[in-house]
Amino acid sequence: MCEARVCVVTGAGRGIGRAHAELLAAHGALVVVNDLGTAVDGSGTDRSLADDVVASITRDGGVAIANHDNIASWEGAQRLINTAIEHFGGLDVVVNNAGILRDRVLVNMTENEWDAVIDTHLKGTFAMSRWAGSHWRERAKSGQTNNARIINTTSVSGLYGNLGQTNYGAAKAGIAMFTQIAATELGRYGVTVNAIAPLALTRMNQGLPQMVDASDEQRDRLSTRKVAEVAVWLASPDTDDISGRVFEASGEILAIAEGWHRGPTADSVVDERDLDTVLRRLLTRARPNADIDGQDSPD
């Protein structure tokens, strides 16, 4: 599906990112495997993780190189994009997958816990997309054609909300809207932008009660490969008609997240004393916020 397409995957040393990189390579892509090798909370580094994925891909007959730049750094993201272009002679796909967790209830969250998560997820997605988008724009301006992809990683936490994740959920919600706007801006250059909200059993969620209590059958269904299959499909040259969408993907469900829509409306009031009556009437007609499963909350 991705024969000879040059693909950059961030956070590809473990989990879903590694599944993306390995399956893209199995489908013929030339892959840049990026990973700092940090712990779940973003601390520490381990260059061997990206190197190990490259070794695995190479043993299986694929083509890949490792990169250890920090994508939350402006210069690091630029170096990573340049690495792909200089080593493989081009760039077709960027998969923004790198992420960390610093879960904490709002009133206990520190500034550092907020900044670290926002930087890695939201700034990292922006920086990578910005440098890739600039490359594709210059190609388009020079008369060359692109059939390029940006595939972002959002989360149901950012779409529907999850306790203890104001930082993570805010970043992932930002990525979902970033995806929609970037799709509109970059379409003129032959670039599609989509996002995946994945669910798979990884080190980032293995401590959650529903993961700890999962049966062997459920664990098999929550394979990272099922998410990677959607990423490879989006990365293929045959999906140039799909952009600005958010896909929920797991071994249990495939879904399209439909985003914000305007609900019940009324004319603006003349007298502010009427606000309570008018807005409460609208609330009785409004659909409840979705729960974490994307369904109408009983509240």
Return the active site residues. Answer: 168
Show the DSSP H helices in the chain as ranges.
15-26, 48-59, 74-88, 111-118, 124-141, 156-159, 166-186, 209-212, 216-221, 224-235, 275-285
CB burial class (10 A; 0-12, 13-18, 19+) of residue 73? Answer: middle
Distance, CA of 148 to CA of 190 (rounded, Å): 6
- Name residues whose C-beta falls within 8 Å of residue 233's C-beta, 6 or more positions apart in sequence: 1, 239
Q: What is each CA distance from 63 to 15, 57, 146, 162, in whole angstroms?
A: 20, 7, 22, 38
d(CA 200, CA 211): 9
SS3 287: coil
Q: Would you state the structure tokens that stand for residue 290, as one six-digit string? A: 């979705």
| C-alpha radius of gyration, the chain, whole number | 20
Rounded Cα–Cα distance for residues 160 and 173 (Å): 9
